[in-house]
């Protein structure tokens, strides 16, 4: 069992539509894992299961050693999530947004303040703490959401296509920051359909039609070829 994230033979169906089939992989602490799949591959369904938006009786998921079905509170307490759709209060300052989230985790006073500022600092956002969220550009709003997801000190960070809608510079900055978070010990699961967000040393899980087609380091899977070519060959779909 890993201290990070582990899935064993996880399946899920929406009625007759099988969205995930026997999905198994683990993300160790200190690892950036890119979950690469075309639209409809099952990435959002997987995130729904990891956050208990849905539950399944097929297979098991553990987070930092806690079984998600049997110890959901303990498991969810170790997960930080950045959803595809932004969920910020634009009329509050950056700092207030984080403090509200800290309160949801039972943190208040100086502890909440210290953790919020530390999380902002990790994302290079400390000097923006007093600004209204509305006045930030898309990249900085995303960074703020990532900072917010770190306040309760999760072991596992989930990000569902976090760079959608951002320009190239903001995409690069965020990808870089999150690689840094993985290097500092987090297990990061980063869902994307963009091969250029994956680095050779990253763990790569290719998901297609609900199945894991490959799981290894990106360098091993691409074997010297462009990852987009490998992806096309494996899935029949351009990345």
Ligand X SMILES: Nc1ncnc2c1ncn2[C@@H]1O[C@H](COP(=O)(O)OP(=O)(O)OP(=O)(O)O)[C@@H](O)[C@H]1O
> Could you give the C-alpha distances from 11 to 15, 117, 187, 210, in angstroms and in order?
12, 39, 22, 8
Any contact of residue 162 with ligand X (CB under 6 A)?
Answer: no
Q: Centre a 10 Å sphere on the Cβ of residue 12 and count the other Cβ atoms it contains.
A: 22
Q: Whole-angstrom Cα distance, residue 239 to residue 236? A: 10
Strand order in the sheet with 156-160: 79-82, 156-160, 187-192, 31-36, 203-208, 211-217
Q: Is 133 exposed, middle or buried (0-12, 13-18, 19+ CB in 10 A)?
A: buried
Q: How far is the CB of 37 from ligand X (least distance, A)?
A: 5
Any contact of residue 45 with ligand X (CB under 6 A)?
Answer: yes
Beta carbon nearer to ligand X, 128 or 208: 208
Any contact of residue 42 with ligand X (CB under 6 A)?
Answer: yes
Any contact of residue 43 with ligand X (CB under 6 A)?
Answer: yes
**How many residues at the interface with ligand X, by CB under 6 A?**
11
Any contact of residue 16 with ligand X (CB under 6 A)?
Answer: no
Q: Whole-angstrom Cα distance, residue 24 to residue 101? A: 31
Any contact of residue 41 with ligand X (CB under 6 A)?
Answer: yes
Any contact of residue 17 with ligand X (CB under 6 A)?
Answer: yes
Q: Which of 5, 7, 10, 19 binds ligand X (CB under 6 A)?
A: 19
Beta carbon nearer to ligand X, 85 or 223: 85
Any contact of residue 44 with ligand X (CB under 6 A)?
Answer: yes
> Could you give the C-alpha distances from 153 to 9, 37, 150, in angstroms and in order?
28, 28, 5
Q: Which of 39, 73, 130, 168 binds ligand X (CB under 6 A)?
A: 39
Q: Whole-angstrom Cα distance, residue 127 to residue 139? A: 15
Of 36-44, 85-93, 167-175, 229-237: span binding ligand X (CB under 6 A) = 36-44
Beta carbon nearer to ligand X, 45 or 187: 45
Q: How far is the CB of 40 from ligand X (least distance, A)?
A: 4
Beta carbon nearer to ligand X, 92 or 194: 194
The helix (run of H) or strand (run of E) holding residue 201 is none
Beta carbon nearer to ligand X, 27 or 191: 191
> Could you give the C-alpha distances from 107 to 37, 52, 98, 100, 110, in angstroms and in order?
36, 23, 11, 9, 9
Q: How far is the CB of 122 from ligand X (least distance, A)?
A: 27
> Could you give the C-alpha distances from 63 to 8, 60, 144, 156, 198, in angstroms and in order?
12, 10, 24, 7, 23
Any contact of residue 85 with ligand X (CB under 6 A)?
Answer: no
List of residues contacting ligand X (CB under 6 A) = 14, 17, 19, 37, 39-45
């Amino acid at each position: 069992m890993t201290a990070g994230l582990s899935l064993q033979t996880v399946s899920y169906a929406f009625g007759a539509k099988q969205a995930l089939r026997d999905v198994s992989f683990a993300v160790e602490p200190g690892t950036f894992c890119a979950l690469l799949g075309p639209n409809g591959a099952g990435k959002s369904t997987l995130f729904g299961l990891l956050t208990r938006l849905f539950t399944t009786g097929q297979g098991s998921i553990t987070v930092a050693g806690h079984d998600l079905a049997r110890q959901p509170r303990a498991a969810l307490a170790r997960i930080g999530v950045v959803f595809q759709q932004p969920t910020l209060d634009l009329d509050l300052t950056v700092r207030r947004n984080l403090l509200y989230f800290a309160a949801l985790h039972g943190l208040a006073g100086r502890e909440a303040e210290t953790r919020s500022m530390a999380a902002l600092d990790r994302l290079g956002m400390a000097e923006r703490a007093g600004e209204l969220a509305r006045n930030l550009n898309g990249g900085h709003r995303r960074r703020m959401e990532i900072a917010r997801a770190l306040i309760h000190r999760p072991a596992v960070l989930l990000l569902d296509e976090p760079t959608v809608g951002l320009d190239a510079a903001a995409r690069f900055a965020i990808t870089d920051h999150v690689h840094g978070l993985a290097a500092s010990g987090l297990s990061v699961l980063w869902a994307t359909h963009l091969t250029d967000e994956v680095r050779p040393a990253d763990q790569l899980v290719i998901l297609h039609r609900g199945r894991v087609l490959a799981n290894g380091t990106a360098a091993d899977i691409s074997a010297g070829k462009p990852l987009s070519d490998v992806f096309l060959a494996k899935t029949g779909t351009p990345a």
